[in-house]
Structure 1
């Protein structure tokens, strides 16, 4: 450390050349160059040693691969661990997430006004339609992704004009317009094939609003995806 400080003093303060510093201090050129280039004095760093757990890590991995939730104490017994518990538990904690299966019911969260999920529900029994006629017309269901507020309206058919009229009826009842309406590949709205929109019942990807809107916006964008929120609402409608 003393040589490092003296080398830098001679080089920076006295403007001494590297060769002259080598002759004066009796050190090699590489030592002088390293001291000049380094902004901190050299420190002794001990080489990292392996842990005793490294020897049994393959056994730990094999047990976690078969039983991801096996308690640490049981793993210690299975591998015959007799040393400290802390270092062993730390290694198990690092390895366990690698073998746990992903949660199939992960919850998705949305921002207020971000989207509404749409789908069609069909009554399980005939419904009186008037003038002695009965049928099972579709029910357009729309669920807010944020608040889970559910609205539904029965429409004459699943054709594009009836779907648009149903959308407008439900949106008018909300008094607000979500940024996106999410459908699950409904043919009357559009279909997603080969990574692109195959056809859209609105005439384009953007489903425009009528002139008088509950709240002026530029339009409602229609997306295609999984309408899980509206599907879970079927139990309430049935």
Structure 2
């Protein structure tokens, strides 16, 4: 076979018109026949080997039957069914060639993201635990929201993935943006809805005048931007950092996000921090009334004057014992009201199964207990009165007449 360099040199010398074929053969060091073959073809010479078959051919018929019945059968399962004992990589390559003949393709369209239309939302869980206080550690969820047009990132760590915390996290980030997109995209997150929005999430979307779009299962392409941001956080933000608390995590995250949003996006031909102005100009403003995003519960205050919110017990003014109180919990505070009057307020704890006590409530309970005991001591002694039944009542019931003095009868001797 002629070498590629010789083929190129032969065609170059012939194109000049100054050399004969015999002279070209002498200059290149090849035969006259090689010069003729080089000039006869216009494409560069390539080595082509005649197919000689493969050890896979003996199993192709059985595999076609299996793929016709189950197009998505894994290659390892198919190899086990037909008794393949050769190279696994060869078998996978051959299966990949046959599978398109039986499996219906699932095409993914290219999406166009106009300004102000969509923000993709997702939860990211740090791969390392951080201290929550009270000797507890965990990896709380981080709500990540990415604008599809500008690529602008917003994020905040949340105490839990419950519905009130998810809605509260979205509302806090939308307040920072001072704008609401036409659509918020979520996957099947339980706190938002699985197939159907939860009632609080539907009310949240209605108050904002936006749509919360729930994606189908196993459809990562529809929110690939925010998925890539999760990997970006792990490699660029978490690396080499240490955190003392969730508040410290959020502070460091807030300081790093402007740097992340200043990166150059080649596909958008700009920086997210600059493009977000165009993005938010196309969004609607915040609603005049804030949506309901807090945890709320009404309970009659028990004798131990504690109420529960997110697995923790918080003390209340014991003067409200026996009365119905309203418990509300945001991302930062837990408040208790009675008839619209604030009677208790605590900073929300991230740790679980805690008893949070206000010292003022303990002192107030001691005062009320002393008053109760003093009031009980001043009560007059009550003597027990036992009613005595009259036996004459039984004589009246049975019509028995008994004289007061017995009659003496004389006995004859």
TM bucket, shorter chain = 0.3 to 0.5
Of structures 1 and 2, the one scoring higher in RCO (CA 8 A, sep 6+) is 1
Question: TM-score, normalising length from structure 2?
Answer: 0.28
Question: TM-score, normalising length from structure 1?
Answer: 0.47
The structure number with the bigger radius of gyration is 2
